[in-house]
Amino acid sequence: MIEAHFSLVDHHGKSVSEQDFRGSWMLVYFGFTHCKVVCPRSLAKLSSALDALGPGIDRIAPLYITVDPARDTPSVMKDWLEENFPRFTGLTGTEDQIEDAKKAFRVFAQRKADEEDADGYVVPHTAIAYLIDPTGEYRAHFLDSVDGETIAARISDIISREENISNA
């Protein structure tokens, strides 16, 4: 149901697709850097979950895909993520590329006017983190309501089981 395909640009300016992450697990979250509440809360939680994984984190690529490509250029994403959530690599692209990525992950995001935002809009979005395995298959997703400890335990469990099967 989830087909983890994308063709985007990372926050270093390099073109990337899901193929570049084959061999690694991906933890993918969609959001936008102007997000005031949901993204900072979720990225902080996911970062602490990743910290809790210890050495296992080396096998995971945490990715943050913007739903606001008009404002989230590679450099904007780089500055924001490196300052606040350095574990994550930001991905952006053209409107069409982002639409394709949203469709592949079945993400909802819709621009909405907001007087409190400096540019006059926000982009409410699905707050789900997706775990994709090293072959590119969807393995699990975590809702915003799930705490970091539980996420860490589930990721660890899924990866361990996968490795046990591979080593058997």
Partner 1 sequence: MMNRSSLQEDFGALRFQLAYMSYALALTHVHRLPAAPAVFRAPFQRLIEKMLSPDVWTYWRHVSTGNGPMNKSLGELPPQWNPVHDDNIMYSAYIQSMALLYHYLFDDPKYAQPGALTFKIEPLYWGDGGESFEYDEKSLNQRLYWQMVEKGYLGIACEPNCVFQICNQPAILGFRMHDLVYGGSIAEEVTEGYKQAWSEFGITRENGHFNILVMEKEHELLEPPPQGWADFWLGSLINMWNPEIVKSNFPAQIAHWRRDAPEGSMWIEPSVKPEGFGPPLTHAYDFGWAAVCASEVGDADSLDRLLKYADMFMDPVWDNGAYFYPRRDGWFDDQGRLAAMDPHTGNALLGYARLNVPDGLNKLYNNPLTKAHFAQPALVDMSEGIEVREARYHPDTRSLNIAMRPGRCREGFFDLSFANFWGRGSWSLLIDDEVAVEGNDSEVTSSGRAEAHRNGDRLDLRLPAGDHRLEVVWNEA
How far is Cα 57 from Cα 127, in angstroms, rounded to an integer? 22
Please tell me whether residue 89 binds partner 1 under the rule CB under 8 A: no
Residues 6+ positions from 13 with CB-CB distance below 8 Å: 74
Q: Of the candidates 83, 95, 110, 115, which one interacts with partner 1 according to CB under 8 A? A: 110
Beta strands 121-122; 112-113: pairing state: antiparallel
Q: Are 124 and 36 in contact (CB under 8 A)?
A: no
Please tell me whether residue 2 binds partner 1 under the rule CB under 8 A: yes
| # binding residues, partner 1 (CB under 8 A) | 12
Please tell me whether residue 106 binds partner 1 under the rule CB under 8 A: yes
Q: Which of residues 122-151 bind partner 1 (CB under 8 A)?
A: 124, 126, 128, 143, 145
How far is Cα 128 from Cα 76, in angstroms, rounded to an integer? 22
Q: Which residues bind partner 1 (CB under 8 A)?
A: 1-2, 103, 106-108, 110, 124, 126, 128, 143, 145
